[in-house]
Amino acid sequence: MAQANSPLVILVTGAATGIGQLTAHSLARAGHTVYASMRNITTRNATRAQAERDYAQSHRVDLHVVELDVTSQESANQAVQTVLEEQGHIDAVLHNAGHLMVGYVEAFTAEEITHLFDTNALGVVRVNRAVLPHLRERGTGLLLYTGSTTSVVVPPFLGPYVASKMAMDGLAQTTAYEVSQFGIETCIVMPGPFTQGTEHFPDATRPADTATMGAYARLDGMVARNEEATSNLFTPGVDANPQAVADEIVRIVGLPTGSRPFRSVVDFSNAHVEEGNALLWKLQADFLDRMGFANLLHPVIR
């Protein structure tokens, strides 16, 4: 990989809105070559794709738009191939594509939850399968994941979403063990809740099974004030802006190879997730050490 502070070629999934878009812009302004990916760039998202091209021109940054549907292996393969054909290599991938579901777990069908996992968890598998052969061959690279503090502190009424982010986190961790021996670093950035500045809550899916939803009507008041209750966790006067996540990712990308953290928390809800992460890392390190696999915790840097 290029040395610290040198421009990197970075593919960002789910860059149409929210944290993905903010991060793509911030990375490009920091001097990196960024491929902002999204679905349907010639149809449903044509306006958003053009807005990204206009942003690149007006800000004079190296920002490109590429078609990528993380629910399709063919689409992931093609997106990676496009970047390689145009740039010759890829240095980093930010797995950011995701969707939110709000409602009572029982009211979601297995098919609805499967669809969510297809995006939030299996999407990272498809993109990794597309890009890892290239990174392994180079013996260097960086896998970044937009995780979630909900993998440590579990909020109510977001069951399928929380489960999908836990699944993604588990895949990211175990993949990190394996690719570390090929010089590939991993960092899981864990945003806390953001009630403003993203399309997460406005675009959230509700259960189709309204009858079962109705059976939980006594809890509807709690669901209705869930966003307000979340906002009340923030320290008064603090600007809980998702730009903070983008800024942290830019910081991590700019660190020297081999010095990047495995996890980073960006949370304004004071949930003490850092403390949980520290304990979990200690337990994991001890577990792998007793297995004789402690080397898997650290990438082989050449």
pLDDT in tens, 41-74: 999 999 999 999 999 999 999 999 999 999 999 9
Residue 52 lies in a domain: yes
Low-confidence ranges of the chain (pLDDT < 70): 1-5, 197-202
Residue 134 lies in a domain: yes
Residue 4 lies in a domain: no
Residue 1 lies in a domain: no
Residue 248 lies in a domain: yes
CA-based torsion, 215, 219, 221, 222: positive or negative: negative
Residue 29 lies in a domain: yes
Residue 254 lies in a domain: yes
Residue 117 lies in a domain: yes
Q: What's 69's domain CATH number?
A: 3.40.50.720
> What total number of domains does the chain contain?
1
Distance separating alpha carbons of residues 72 and 253, to the nearest angstrom: 27
DSSP of the chain, one letter per residue? -PPTTS--EEEESS-SSHHHHHHHHHHHHTT-EEEEEES-TTTTTHHHHHHHHHHHHHHT--EEEEE--TT-HHHHHHHHHHHHHHHS---EEEE-----B-B-GGGS-HHHHHHHHHHHTHHHHHHHHHHHHHHHHHT-EEEEEE--GGGTS--TTBHHHHHHHHHHHHHHHHHHHHHHTTTEEEEEEEE---SSSSSTTTT-B--S-HHHHHHTGGGHHHHHTHHHHHHTTSPTT----THHHHHHHHHHHHSPTT---SEEEE-SS---HHHHHHHHHHHHHHHHHHHT-GGGGS----
Domain assignment of residue 285, given as a range: 9-297
